[in-house]
Chain A
Amino acid sequence: MKKVTEGLKAIAETVALCRPEVISAYPITPQTHIVEELSVIVANGKLKCEFINVESEFAAASVVLGASVAGVRAYSATSSQGLLLMAEVLFNMAGMRLPVVITDANRAVSAPINIWNDWQDTLAIRDAGLIHLFAEDNQEACDMHLQAFKIAEDHEVMLPVMVNLDGFILTHAFDPIEFPEQALVDKYLPKYVPMEKLDVKNPLSFGLMGGPDRYLETRYAMAETMKTCPAVIRKAAQDFNKMFGRNYGELIEEYKMEDAEIVLVSMGSIISSMKDVADDLRAAGKKVGVLKIRCYRPFPVQDVIKSLCGKKKAIILEKALSIGGVGILTADIKAALYGQKNVPEISDFILGLGGRDIRISDIKAIVALAEKANLKGEFYGLDPKLVEEMDK
């Protein structure tokens, strides 16, 4: 039975079903309700877990890192400034191959300080070595957490996984959510079995210095895991579908792509609007499809090639950019397509930063713009008056 629940609370309830043994997180909008709700769940004895209040996100990430090396399932959640404060720990956690799951309520990064949605926070740490998953809606965000633990803890993977969902657009939206049954969750996600842990009966050292003679191979091993883990990610999605009957695609999801000529490409909640736009434009005779990037790291290069090559036009919608460079998702897609045959024309747009609304009409306007010319790194929706004012 579905229960109408706020996105963050739904995630907290779902995370509790995953039975993490140590949770540590720090409040920051728009993530805060997760840490609040989990503290309530633990305080009411509904989840047997050590809930650790800390003084910063840096500490939260370090606490779950410590718990994970000691051999238990550990979870944290954050957003924006908090994620950046965690950054040093996250690189370390990935390098130490610790399967922590972290939720990021995607939010813009200061300055100017802004609590609203874009992807700048998570993409700033895309090179840390975490697996990055993006949810389209709250049901997927919830379900993705079960998959996240399963992927992270797979002995072929052993990397932290970050579940991303758009701040406010998803986090604070009330949706009817189907919560899985505990018994089924336990079946899908059995108790975490570490490969090695801090243990007086088998005293091992972790986090050793690695010199020039060893560091390269350590990083190579991570890169190799990123190449092989798509199989695990796919299986996690397939097994989930079998057990719970919900399917969101694997590394990508394709919508009306078979005969599509124009493809809208993006990640996260904007995908829902893009699907509506595809429907509308198809009714008007335009063959539009949608490519959803569900797994951003590892980047699904083969899936993207298969999906986009042979199409006429790809239009990438980005809610972040590498300032001084190009759109971040665009760079990944172009890199994937380089040297392939029948590569589509690519237009990419930067929009929605800091929570600026993106309406169906905006996406349609973008399609119209891209049909006229190939636009690169085009900021969409700028207020000309403000641009002029800031120019002074």
Chain B
Amino acid sequence: MSTVKVFNAGHTACSGCGLSLAARLVMEAAGPNVIVSNSTGCLEVFTTRSPQTAWGVPWVHSLFENSGALATGIVAALKMQGKENEARVMAFGGDGSTADIGFGIISGMWERGDDVLYVCFDNEAYMNTGIQRSGLTPFLGATSTSPAGSVTGGNQKQKKNIPMIAAAHGVKYVATACVGYQRDLQNKIKKALAIKGPKYVQILATCPLGWGNDSSLTIQMGKLAVETGLFPLFEVEEGKITNVMNVAKPKPVEEYLKLQTRFRHIVKNPEEVAKVQAIADANFKRYTKDKVLF
């Protein structure tokens, strides 16, 4: 390992934070020759507080919804300086930044075909501001703005399918990854960075505080999300599914739900659990190797 670290310890993430683990894995896979544009959110907040920074690579934060456009500007500037081969450019955003407020920006970046790896750190809510729902909050998951009320229980919408939306844009490489499968995650980042053009990787990152799981379960939660079928891991290259993480014996979603207080209101209700199970079952059918999507 090099002496200069790309992502340093000493930041202020919560214990068991899947996001800080995911970010470290991404950065170690990417190495020092990258420039990062980071949207507002937990990652930006826990890694910087002027004059301190956890970042060992050139890093910039501007706003909640513009890391994609910043990356475009950075790529353009590198090109004008004749340095396009000196550094790869990555844009980071949380699920809220990616699926909601910054979505138009990201769509624009993909449409232009900019040579940027966009990484969405998906902890399934606006964690930085106190666990409000986002477009990537899971079906029936309780958040502080989709609470488990007596009439409606939790988030009434399914996760927005950003990977498929990315693929529909003609993004060259689309992948999902998860802190439960670290080598897989790092391979995907390396593979993505070797490709010229737009790339999108969405990483499921456990958030003990927001999900209400034990902070020792960060890795397990990731594994369970995949093993139940709720967060399938796959790769899409040039519009075709080229790889799907095989789950030999799918686990019932209940095993995943019961470990998190955000699903506390449904675990004792078989009808509601069945609805979530149906999503997982559909995912296994939807994401199959060699399927041509576009």
Contact = CB atoms under 8 A, between A and B. Distances in A.
The reply to whether chain A is a binding partner of chain B is yes
Interface of A: 21-22, 24, 48-50, 52-56, 58-59, 62-72, 74, 88-89, 92, 96, 198-200, 202-211, 214
B62 A89 contact: yes
Given A200-B57, A208-B48, A210-B50, A71 B81 contact: yes
Contact of A22 (B35, B48, B52, B76): B76
B50 A211 contact: yes
B56 interface: yes
Main secondary structure of the interface of B (DSSP, over half): mixed
The CB with the most chain A CB atoms within 10 A, among B32, B53, B70, B73, is that of B73
B63 interface: yes
Contacts of B55: 203, 205
A54 B68 CA distance: 11
B87 A200 contact: yes
A55 B107 contact: yes
Interface string B1-36: 000100000000000000000000000000011110
B73 A68 contact: yes
B108 A54 contact: yes
Given A21-B80, A67-B77, 6 more contacts: A21-B76, A22-B80, A62-B63, A72-B80, A200-B32, A200-B86
A209 B44 contact: yes
A71 B79 CA distance: 11
Interface of B: 4, 32-35, 37, 44-45, 48-53, 55-63, 65-66, 69-74, 76-81, 86-87, 104-105, 107-108, 111-112
A349 to B, nearest CB: 38
A66 B74 contact: yes
Nearest to A196: B58
A200 B59 CA distance: 10
17 contacts: A59-B72, A62-B69, A62-B70, A63-B69, A63-B73, A66-B62, A70-B35, A70-B73, A70-B77, A70-B78, A72-B76, A92-B63, A198-B60, A204-B59, A208-B51, A209-B44, A210-B49
A63 B72 contact: yes
A62 B53 contact: no
Contact of A207 (B62, B65, B80): B62
Contacts of A59: 66, 69, 72, 104-105, 108
Given A89-B63, A211-B49, A50 B57 contact: no
Contacts of A209: 44-45, 48-50, 61
Given A72-B77, A206-B60, A56 B70 contact: no
A66 B72 contact: yes
A48 B51 CA distance: 37
A203 B79 contact: no
Given A72-B81, A203-B56, A52 B73 contact: yes
Nearest to A200: B87
Contact of A71 (B44, B51, B69, B77): B77
A239 B250 CA distance: 74
Contacts of A66: 37, 60, 62, 69-74, 76-77
A65 B58 contact: no
A160 B174 CA distance: 37
B32 A65 contact: no
Contacts of A88: 63
Contacts of A207: 60-62
B264 to A, nearest CB: 33
Task: Return the 10 tightest CB-CB contacts between A and B, nearest first.
Answer: A66-B73, A70-B77, A62-B69, A66-B70, A50-B76, A67-B73, A207-B61, A62-B66, A55-B108, A205-B53
Nearest to B104: A55
A18 to B, nearest CB: 14
A203 B78 CA distance: 15
A88 B4 CA distance: 35
A200 B35 contact: yes
Given A55-B104, A62-B62, A198-B60, A49 B73 contact: no
A202 B56 CA distance: 9
B225 to A, nearest CB: 30
Contacts of A204: 58-59
A382 to B, nearest CB: 40
Nearest to B44: A209
Contacts of B48: 205, 208-209
A59 B111 CA distance: 13
A213 to B, nearest CB: 9
B62 A64 contact: no
A92 B74 contact: no
Nearest to A71: B77
Given A59-B69, A205-B55, A209-B50, A70 B61 contact: no
B257 to A, nearest CB: 35
A21 B76 CA distance: 8
A203 B37 contact: no
B50 A200 contact: no
Nearest to B54: A205
A62 to B, nearest CB: 3
Given A66-B71, A71-B77, A208-B51, A203 B58 contact: yes
Given A62-B69, A203-B59, A208-B53, A22 B77 contact: yes
A222 B67 CA distance: 24
Contacts of A49: 80
Contacts of B34: 200
Given A62-B105, A200-B32, A203-B56, A67 B63 contact: no
A64 B35 CA distance: 16
Given A203-B32, A203-B55, A206-B61, A214 B50 contact: yes
Contact of B66 (A48, A67, A89, A199): A89
A67 B37 CA distance: 11
Given A62-B66, A63-B70, A203 B108 contact: no
A83 B65 CA distance: 17
